[in-house]
Structure 1
Amino acid sequence: MSKKTILYRERQRFRQFWLWAVVLGVAALFWAGFVAQVMLGHTFGSRPVSSVQLVVLVLLFGVGLPYFFFRMSLTTEVLPGELWVRFRPFHLRPVKIPLHLVREYERISYNPIQDYGGWGIRWGFKGKAYNMSGNRGVKLYFYNHKPLLIGSQRPDELYQAIAQAKELRQQP
């Protein structure tokens, strides 16, 4: 099996302060309930759950939710003739985009909330988007379907790598 040359690779994670404040705030709330009810013996809230249920909730929301967001990542790779995008944990394998299907591409700045409804894997009237943070990326226009936005912290490098990958693909 031949190893393909990777022309560009970028791995992004959620970096928004407000997102981590919400996720860790929710986790802290469940941990506070656990400490108060299970360790100190006080009831937590006006309608407390059983200690077993609270342990399950702490495992799900106090440990699982922060871990889920910590492990979430967007990996973009450009290879000769292909663009691979993998949004963990939702994609088990990378989404492979043959660059010969791309008729045009451009570096853009966009408004994640207005244009796509936020960050993540998003669908909207302007097409599909894979983005983690920021407001810059490369938008791909296809011959046969809606555009695709790939969010990037280094859109200039991604753009150049796509140009190089398309050029390498066209050579015999």
Structure 2
Amino acid sequence: MASLPILFQEKQRFTQVWLWVVLLGVAAIFWVGFFYQLLSGNNFGRNPIVGVEAAVLFVLVGIGLPYFFYKMSLNTEVHPGQISIRFFPFHIKPVQIPLHLVRDYEKVTYNAIGEYGGWGIRWGFRGKAYNMSGNQGVQLHFYNRKPLLIGSQKPDELFEAISQAKNSKATTTE
């Protein structure tokens, strides 16, 4: 099986400082509580938990939550005739979008919170969005469904790659 050439590739992660401050602040509360109880033997809070429950919460929230957000990524690839989007860890396989289903596409500047309710895999009145940070991307308009926004830190390159991919034929042997 021959693979399609990659015309555009981008891997994005959450880079918002405010998000990391909140995540690490929440995790720090669990770190402090766990180690305070473990090292001093005193109770942390009015209704303390001990032993296994404290260790499980520390691992899940104190370590697991920041690690989960650190590993989360949006991978976008443009190939002749299709776009592949994978929002790790929610997509096991990439979502394939055949470009013959795309009626039109445009570079857009959008308000992630106002139009889609934030970042991630989002649904709004304007359709579906895959975005990690920023406010720019390419919006795809389909013949028979709502638009899809692909957020990008390189919207000009993504737009040009889609133009090139839509005008070329996919030639693979499977």
Q: Normalized against structure 1, the TM-score is what? A: 0.97
Cα distance, 1:51 vs structure 2: 2.3
Query: Deviation per CA, 1:38-93, whole angstroms, max 9, x where unpaired?
Result: 12211100110122211000000011001100000000000000000000000000
Pairwise mapping of residues 21-32 of structure 1 onto structure 2 (< 5 A)? 21-32=21-32
Query: Deviation per CA, 1:96-133, whole angstroms, max 9, x where unpaired?
Result: 00000000000000000010000000001100000000
Pairwise mapping of residues 117-136 of structure 1 onto structure 2 (< 5 A)? 117-136=117-136
Between 51-60 and 153-162, the greater mean CA deviation after superposition: 51-60
The one-letter code of the counterpart of 2:132 is M
Pairwise mapping of residues 157-172 of structure 1 onto structure 2 (< 5 A)? 157-169=157-169
Partner of 1:19: 19
The one-letter code of the counterpart of 1:117 is G
Detail structure 1 runs of 4+ shifted over 2 Å in the superposition.
Answer: none
Q: Does 1:38 align with 2:14?
A: no
The one-letter code of the counterpart of 1:5 is P
How far apart, in 1, do the equivalents of 2:51 and 2:135 lie?
A: 44
How large is the Cα RMSD of the aligned pairs?
Answer: 1.1
Q: Normalized against structure 2, the TM-score is what? A: 0.96
Unpaired stretches in structure 1, ≥5 consecutive residues: none
For the 8 Å contact 1:110–1:136, the answer to whether it is kept is yes
Q: Aligned pair count?
A: 171
Unpaired stretches in structure 2, ≥5 consecutive residues: none
The one-letter code of the counterpart of 2:126 is K
The one-letter code of the counterpart of 1:162 is I
The verdict on how the C-alpha distance between 1:170 and 1:71 changes in structure 2, with shifts beyond 3 A counting, is closer
**SS at the partner of 1:113?**
helix
**SS at the partner of 2:59?**
helix
